[in-house]
Amino acid sequence: MSSTTPKKIDVKKSLVEAILAGLIALIVFGPIVGVVLEGYSFNLESTRVAWIIAIVMAGRFALSLFLQTPRGLRILEGFESTGSGVHVLPPDYKSRLRWIIPLMIAIAVALPFFSNSYLLGVVILGLIYVLLGLGLNIVVGLAGLLDLGYVAFYAIGAYGLALGYQYLGLGFWTVLPLAAITAGLAGCILGFPVLRLHGDYLAIVTLGFGEIIRLILNNWLSLTGGPNGMPAPLPTFFGLEFGKRAKDGGVPFHEFFGIAYNPDVKYYFIYAVLFLVVLAVLYIKHRLVKMPVGRAWEALREDEIACRSMGLNHVLVKLSAFTIGASTAGLAGVFFATYQGFVNPTSFTFFESALILAIVVLGGMGSTIGVVIAAFVLTVAPELLRGFAEYRVLLFGILMVLMMIWRPRGLIRISRTGVTPRKGAIHYERTAP
Amino acid sequence: MTRPIIELKDLDVFYGPIQALKGVSLHINEGETVSLIGSNGAGKSTLLMSIFGQPRAAGGQILYQGVDITHKSSHYIASNGIAQSPEGRRVFPDMTVEENLLMGTIPIGDKHAKEDMQRMFELFPRLEERRNQRAMTMSGGEQQMLAIARALMSRPKLLLLDEPSLGLAPIVVKQIFATLRELAKTGMTIFLVEQNANHALKLSDRAYVMVNGEIRLTGTGKELLVNEEVRNAYLGGH
Ligand SMILES: Nc1ncnc2c1ncn2[C@@H]1O[C@H](COP(=O)(O)OP(=O)(O)OP(=O)(O)O)[C@@H](O)[C@H]1O
Ligand SMILES: [Mg+2]
């Protein structure tokens, strides 16, 4: 690429670009900032406009100059090459992101020691969305099946805990695997009729499925309490409850260990369990992608006819993607319910599906690290910027538009580590982003 | 060498109300190279795909090594020694050459993957040069080689090829046919569907001519090359 030929810095080009940017700024900001209404007349505030334009021009000029330096050129190249699809890493490639996993674990372990319960709550939510993102990533990112009703499986997990507790007296630990299985079965059941569908049609049917589940939860008053919702139980620590007083004369956690009652302990516990589950799911996903079924998902996404010509059982492949994706959402739902202590149908609207899809798209279809980062950005950021929370949808919109321009394939490029040929046989010039 | 590896008996295949194959019977002996020629829409691709059970035959029988596979699953068929390179190549665009080859091992598992990949690179040296290139960025000829190599990765006894010369320059077609000839010499049974009748007939031991879903003619490659009807319809009539 062009970086090999050192180019001179072209000041004139930068000046022209700066003037153009100034003109655009004048058109955009002139009427908004420069004209201030006062009663029925208006004042012209030309100095403010001049300042804004000056800042824009200076900024554009500096940016333009910077982008002509070798470092800037490299950044530009990074943007250009993103359009070229999946980035394939050499098989013996040691990811530069490798240190991220120990780092994440270190942060996760350290977090409870210096966080308050509010921050912890935000992180729990973030982790729940990581689970959801990972699950949907299998369906959409890997298998290429656009599922707009993913929230249904999340709801099944959450209501699984609430209903199981209410009617069958089941606790968190019993429901956790059951919810994964139930949601997985639901995924399988949804999978069957949509096997022949692709793209838009698949999206519409799954969207409908998501709404059906929500409407059932909302309207089956006698079973689910409808819009009033239902309580969900907390997890127990080997049978010890986290409440101030245990039910049925049991010993609560704090008394058993002889420590003072702290209402936040339960959140720390949920956090710890959730983190372990996320790690397990990350690991399982990592393994699955390398196994034949993972490769079959990707093959199906890339060319269904080719898959058929290899005798690949596309029914099984699609169903397994739906099932595994759904069961991950079921797990997430259980954590959501136990963390909130309460579930109602408003948590499972289409917006939630869209949010999860946004996580997958932003993260880079098929990329695990990308999904983890995107999940935190999209759930934690609005929480931390409380005042900005109402603009969340706007924020999404802007992010999406920017992404489509600069990162059409997601934050992190999908990079698969190649197959298993001999070590050291291949050399690469290109490096990962 | 005269035992048929595959035998189609009176095969009927429908797409909804349209009958694409009408009582097709043919056989391929072990180690033979047999080609099927016919004009567009004759039903050649349909025939290849129906050996894989997609679409299923509505009538008739497909015997593979004496076993009736008419109603077996595609997976069973693929993992028991039949492989195909589909029409239009259909390589996985976002996967590298190596990954595409690895996908080819799905029917049989990847225990021989490394060794077989090396064999493919010997057969198609071009692929070795490009082993880490993404398939979508390769030329049509390279993609065709990849499609054939991918099919061979499942260690087939019977290789089905659908129009390997599609859209390729004459020189590349020549290369590919040379490789097929090499392959045939190793004892591989090849069933070749082609529009390029000249090349196909020269390569083949025997051939069938299909018209409107029916087998019209059959004979050795040499016989058909000089056959008046074939010359007029498929060899440009000179
Ligand atoms: N999926 C399908 N649904 C309906 N009809 C089909 C389908 N596939 C093929 N056909 C029809 O079956 C007939 C045979 O098609 P086929 O693709 O087998 O022809 P072909 O001999 O391979 O032609 P070509 O040389 O152009 O590839 C055609 O009339 C075609 O329109
Ligand atoms: Mg065809």
In the predicted model, is pLDDT for residue A433 greater than 50? no
Asked if A308 has any chain B CB less than 8 Å from its own CB, the reply is yes
Cβ atoms of B98 and B68 closer than 8 Å = no
* CB proximity list for B187: less than 8 A, separation 6 or greater: B31
* Distance from C-alpha of B234 to C-alpha of B198, rounded to nearest angstrom: 8
Contact (CB<8Å) A303/B90: yes
A421:B131 CB<8 A: yes
CATH of domain B1-81+159-238: 3.40.50.300
- At position B223, the amino acid (one-letter code) is E
Burial (CB < 10 A; 0-12, 13-18, 19+), residue B105, is buried
For A203-219, what is the mean pLDDT?
Answer: 92
| A234 vs A95, more confident | A234
- List, for residues A386-418, the tens digit of each pLDDT value: 666 667 677 777 777 777 777 666 655 555 554
- A429: pLDDT strictly greater than 50: no
Q: Which atom of ligand 1 is nearest to the CA of B42?
A: 21
Predicted local confidence at residue B201, as pLDDT: 92
Q: How far apart are CA B212 and CA B86, in angstroms?
A: 20
Average model confidence (pLDDT) across chain A: 80
Q: Does A426 touch chain B (CB under 8 A)?
A: yes
- According to the model, what pLDDT value does residue B106 have? 86
pLDDT at A93: 52
- Using a CB-CB distance cutoff of 8 angstroms, which residues of chain B are in contact with residue A296? 106
Distances in whole angstroms, Cα of residue A398 to Cα of each of A110, A126, A392, A418, B152 = 33, 21, 10, 34, 48
- A413 or B122, which is more confident: B122
Cβ–Cβ below 8 Å for B74 and A313: yes
**Over residues A235-259, mean pLDDT:** 73
End-to-end CA distance of chain B: 35
Q: Where are the beta strands (DSSP E) in chain B?
A: 4-15, 18-29, 33-38, 59-64, 67-68, 82-85, 158-162, 189-194, 206-211, 214-220
Cβ-Cβ contacts under 8 Å, B92 against chain A: 298-299, 302-303, 306
The tens digit of pLDDT for each residue in A353-387 reads 988 998 888 887 667 888 888 888 888 777 766 66
> What is the tally of helices (H) and strands (E) in chain B?
10, 10
Query: What pLDDT, on the 0 to 100 scale, is given for residue A96?
Result: 54
A291–chain B Cβ distance below 8 A for any pair:
no
Enumerate the β-bridge partners of residue B208: B36, B218
pLDDT at B237: 55
Q: What angle do CA B93, B99, B101 make, to 5 degrees?
A: 100
- Percent of chain B surpassing pLDDT 70: 98
Between the CA of B154 and the centroid of ligand 1 the distance, in Å, is 26
Q: Between B83, B85, B103, which is nearest A299 by CB?
A: B103
With beta carbons under 8 A apart, name residues in chain A contacting B104.
310
Identify whether the C-beta of residue B189 lies closer than 8 Å to the C-beta of residue B30.
yes
pLDDT for position A422 = 34
Residue of B46, B195, B209 best suited for mutating to test ligand 1, as the one with most atoms within 8 Å of CB: B46
At residue A94, does pLDDT exceed 70?
no
User: Does residue A77 have a pLDDT over 70?
Assistant: no
User: Which residues have beta carbons under 5 A from ligand 2 (an ion)?
Assistant: B 45, 87
Tell me the shortest Cα–Cα distance from B97 to chain A, in angstroms.
Answer: 10
Assign residue A341 a region (left: φ > 0; alpha: ψ between -120 and 50; beta: otherwise): left
If pLDDT is split at 50, 70 and 90, which confidence band does B80 have?
A: very high
Per DSSP, A197 falls in state: -
Ligand 1 cavity residues, CB under 6 Å: B 15, 18, 20, 38, 40-46, 87, 195
More confident call, A258 vs B174: B174
For residues A262-297, one letter each, b for 16 or more C-beta atoms within 10 angstroms of the residue's C-beta and e for the rest, the string is eebbbbbbbbebbbebbeebbeebeebbeebbbbbb
State whether residue B96 sits within 8 Å of chain A by CB. yes
Q: How far is the CA of B170 from the centre of ligand 2 (A)?
A: 19
d(CA B40, ligand 2 centre) in Å: 7
**Which pLDDT score is estimated for A416?**
54
> Rounded to whole angstroms, how far apart are CA atoms B104 and B146?
10
A112 in Cβ contact with A271 (< 8 Å): yes
Q: What is the pLDDT of residue A424?
A: 33
pLDDT digits (tens, 9 = 90+) for A130-146: 999 999 999 988 888 88
CA of B88 to the centre of ligand 2 (A): 9
| Stated pTM of the model | 0.76
Predicted pLDDT of residue A428: 33
A353: its two tokens: 């599906």
> How much distance in Å is there from the Cα of B163 to the middle of ligand 1?
13
CB A392 within 8 A of CB A138: no
Work out which ligand 1 atom sits closest to the CA atom of B43. Answer: 18
The predicted model gives B100-112 an average pLDDT of: 87
The strand pair at B82-85 and A415-417 is best described as: unpaired
Domain boundaries of chain B, sorted by first residue: 1-81+159-238, 89-156
Chain A residues lying within 8 Å of B102, measured CB to CB: 295, 419-420
On the question of pLDDT at B224 being above 70, the answer is yes
Coil, helix or strand at residue B160: strand
Closest Cα in chain B to A422: B114
Residue B138 CA, ligand 2 centroid: distance in Å = 22
Which pLDDT score, from 0 to 100, does residue A2 have? 43
Interchain contact B63–A (C-beta under 8 A): no
Dump pLDDT digits (tens) for B135-167: 989 999 999 999 999 999 999 999 999 999 988
Using the predicted structure, report yes or no on whether residue A61 has a pLDDT greater than 60. yes
* pLDDT tens column, A149-183: 999 999 999 999 999 999 998 888 999 999 999 99
Q: What does the domain layout of chain A look like in residue ranges?
A: 11-80, 116-355
Q: Is residue B166 within 8 Å of B88, Cβ to Cβ?
A: yes
Contact B135, B89 (CB under 8 A): no
Closest-CA distance, B232 to chain A, in angstroms, reads 33
Residue of A nearest to B55 (CA): A308
Beta bridge partners of B215: B210
| Contact assessment for residue A241 and residue A252, using Cβ atoms and an 8 Å cutoff | yes
Q: Give yes or no for residue A249 having a pLDDT over 70.
A: no
